[in-house]
Chains A and B, each alone.
Chain A
Amino acid sequence: MTDHHHHDDDWPYPHPKQPDTEDAPFTDHMAITEAVTELLIDKNIFTADDMRKMVEYIDSKSPAEGARMIARAWTDPDFKARMLDDVNAAAVEMDIDAGTIPIRCVENTPKAHNVIVCTLCSCYPRMLLGLPPDWYKSRAYRSRMIREPRAVLAEFGTEISDAVETRVHDSTADLRYMVLPMRPKGSEGMEENALADLVTRDSMIGVTVIKDL
């Protein structure tokens, strides 16, 4: 799968052609990846075990971790204050490894709706949400979200009233962002674990809101 459609016939630039591999393609880039991995292991930059553990670690990351933090913030105002101050430190309280890149949590309110984009590459709070969806990395999202947020949000089924400010955060530098969605009406009295189940990845990117129950 790619971010973009391939146009094999009219594309003027060379790219890997793999004859007879329709069922199980092995592209040049896959060969390069295997070769680089072997060379770096041979040269003792890292071990095969380091590699295996890192892939396992990547697999262990999912939006569930971000969702747990959101649910805690909804139920514990002191935690929420600490999280808005320092997400990485607040994560440690919950035994979540949010890594060393500073993550900022931006809070949705009745007056402001936050949404995240990275126009220059595809920066994403992967330590709390896992690897990004393809559309987040797409040319369409990266080009348009910053200029016509309301139209793009509408494509995600999210209508923001003109009375509410839309605030688009472009992660251009050393921070990553996650959105603290508004707690849905009707969730009063629900326990933290049940609340966490309501929190979607897309609501933490800010392209959707969590529907009232």
Chain B
Amino acid sequence: MNARFAVGDKVRVREAYPPGHIRTPHFIRGKEGTVTAVIGDFANPEELAYGRPGIPKQTLYWVAFPQTGLWPDYAGPEHDTAVVDVFDHWLVGEQQ
């Protein structure tokens, strides 16, 4: 597995809104988070959903987003997080 990102890397979710079957939820598009685990390679659900084999496989990551970065009016403390499973092709690297 040649994972493009490692634990601790800052990443941003692509700000793209194509129609069709997508497993990257709307609320993280364009948002910045930190990779907290490299899960492994999985067939691409955006292909599987249409009856195709989902190749090439995509690396799946845990990306932790600070809640205050997702919701401007977030009511809880700054250390609260949302952890979302995100596929590689939805992520771009962020300069520190």
Contacts and interface: CB of A to CB of B under 8 A. Distances in A.
B92 interface: no
Contact of A167 (B25, B40, B81): B81
Interface string A190-212: 00000000000000000000000
A172 B80 contact: no
Nearest to A117: B82
Given A119-B25, A146-B27, A150-B75, A173 B80 contact: no
Contacts, number: 69
A174 B60 contact: yes
A68 interface: no
A166 B76 contact: yes
B91 interface: no
Interface residues of A, number: 21
B22 to A, nearest CB: 9
A162 B45 CA distance: 37
B31 to A, nearest CB: 12
A47 B60 CA distance: 36
A3 interface: no
Given A120-B25, A170-B25, A151 B82 contact: no
B74 to A, nearest CB: 8
A101 B80 CA distance: 28
A173 B82 contact: no
Contacts of A167: 64, 80-83
Given A146-B27, A172-B25, A151 B75 contact: yes
Interface of B: 23-25, 27, 39-40, 42, 45, 60, 64, 67, 70-71, 74-77, 79-87
